Chains A and B, each alone.
Chain A
């Protein structure tokens, strides 16, 4: 079967620095993949490549078997650090509606199907109660739910999220993860989510893609989150430590 997302030997050099170094990654429909790594490991660049916003110097990026650039309608996206101004004149429902037709020219015409799609996406993201509020005046966790509703309203097959858990407290992060897990399970949407801490994702990840210095190792958590594999990836010894139900990666 054709994978939903396929990166093959993807290499990206930005300003003379190798940011992605021969990266391979496959993602199937409904599969939940955590893209884990510290700051500067190449996570954002990988997501931008998958979105078709950045063309790699080498390698192939395919979505549903076709070049990523031409498949934008199959992809939902939540960018890193969305900071909505409190005075931005958008209600939550308006912002989510832009996920359906924000790229079109002209004024939006109100329609019952459009409103129903927006309501359905808000419901799936656990944000139905926020619909009439001003988007910029919500808390960080509420804004992330709204951005997720924005990303899934056009019914994409692939959802890309750049550090959606950053700056969230643990309960909010857990709530967002469970929303995403049910989007993957119930709608068959492939989810690729970047995070610098893998722990909130451990209960739901089908696959982990671990990045260090532009290189990537992918597989089940049992295969990848091991001292030998990560030491090889980092190029220096690191140790994987299990503390209760948490996993820590420390320099050995």
Chain B
């Protein structure tokens, strides 16, 4: 598989996953948690570099650990959850700083740029089945928890009264979100990865009324942004200033912002 094909396939899987997971993230008011997970993933990515393993495994492992820590520290109340999220975010970024410092002082592998801003064109072709499998797990979890997640979003006590444990459902969803964030991180980088989850989902919520339709539209918008971003990045190898190409993450996130802006304008009308 050529690097371009690998990039397109991985980008497509990531876009498909980010629609449903992103709609739940925005509807549940967990965008900050999602962003914190993404940043916490940089610890795993940097650790992966140090240990010489695929950064994707580092992202996944640390996102799941960070999600568990946020659940354990957070509890039910909104403020306590925000504090727990912030604490986990700070702790993991401190570790990232340490790992990247050690890495960059002993080698020149471009670890910092890869971890923070993605490495879609330098992915090993062997990554594709792993990305597809993790994406499938994330989508399956979202489908399994679909109705309890929506019911809890209306009011958690409605779920509790029907014998659903909102905390359990929330933990299951956080696992799905961790995987989606990890996949997004290898595409456009850890610190930008939530853009792909937030932007298309928020745009879709402006435009359609049904949950399933919002998820499908968010996936399509994410797909357009990702594939368009990959295409533009590929074309940019002939662009000034240096003829080395512009970063994929720049094009993807710029497209996401355009889509979101267009949805705002459409809603006003």
- Distance in angstroms between the alpha carbons of A101 and B163 in the assembled complex: 12
Contact B211 A89 (CB under 8 A): yes
Given known A-B contacts A82-B155, A87-B205, A104 and B147 have beta carbons under 8 A apart: yes
User: Which residues of A are found within 8 Å of B27, using beta-carbon distances?
Assistant: 85, 87-89
Give complex CA distance A82, B27 in Å: 15
Which residues in B have their C-beta under 8 angstroms from that of A103?
147-148, 151, 159, 162-164
* A77 x B158 contact (CB < 8 A): yes
Q: Is the CB of A53 within 8 A of B153?
A: no
A77 and B210 contact, Cβ closer than 8 Å, known pairs A98-B150, A108-B147: no
| Nearest CB in chain B to that of A73: its residue | B162
* A43: chain B residues within 8 A (beta carbon): none
Check B144–A90 contact: CB distance below 8 A: no
Per the bound structure, the CA–CA distance linking A77 and B209 in Å amounts to 24
Determine whether the beta carbon of B205 is less than 8 Å from that of A102: no
How many chain B residues touch A (CB < 8 A): the figure is 34
User: Out of B143, B154, B202, which one reaches A82, CB within 8 Å?
Assistant: B154
Q: How far is the CA of A95 from the CA of B214 in the complex (A)?
A: 15
B124 interface residue, CB < 8 Å from A? Answer: no
A65-93 to B contact mask, C-beta < 8 Å, 1/0: 00000001001010100101101111100
Q: Which of B148, B157, B159, B163 has the most CB of A within 10 A?
A: B157
Give chain B's interface secondary structure class: helix
Asked if B210 and A94 sit within 8 Å, CB to CB, the answer is yes
B53, CB-defined interface residue at 8 Å: no
B101 interface contact, C-beta 8 A? no
CB distance from A53 to the nearest CB of B (A): 6
Q: Interface size for chain A: under 10, 10 to 19, 20 to 34, or 35 or more residues?
A: 20 to 34
A107 at the interface (CB under 8 A from B): yes
On whether the beta carbons of A51 and B161 are closer than 8 Å, the reply is: yes
Question: Is B145 interfacial (CB 8 A cutoff)?
Answer: yes
Q: Is the CB of A89 within 8 A of B164?
A: no
In the bound complex, how far is the Cα of B209 from the Cα of A95, in angstroms? 11
Interface centre among B143, B153, B213 (most CB of A within 10 A): B153
Interface residues of B in 189-221 (CB under 8 A from A): 202, 204-206, 208-214
Closest-by-CB residue of A relative to B201 is: A89
Neighbouring B residues of A82 by C-beta, 8 Å: 154-155
Which of the listed residues A52, A102, A104, A132 has the most CB atoms from chain B within 10 Å of its own CB?
A102
Interface residue A105 (Cβ < 8 Å from any Cβ of B): yes
Q: How far is the CB of A206 from chain B (nearest CB, A)?
A: 24
Within 8 A of A (CB), among B35-73: none
| Chain A residues whose C-beta falls within 8 Å of the C-beta of B155 in the assembled complex | 79, 82
What separation, in Å, do the CA atoms of A134 and B27 have in the docked complex? Answer: 14
> Is B246's CB within 8 Å of the partner chain A?
no
Chain A contacts to B: CB under 8 angstroms = 51-53, 72, 75, 77, 79, 82, 84-85, 87-91, 94-95, 98, 101-108, 132-134, 150
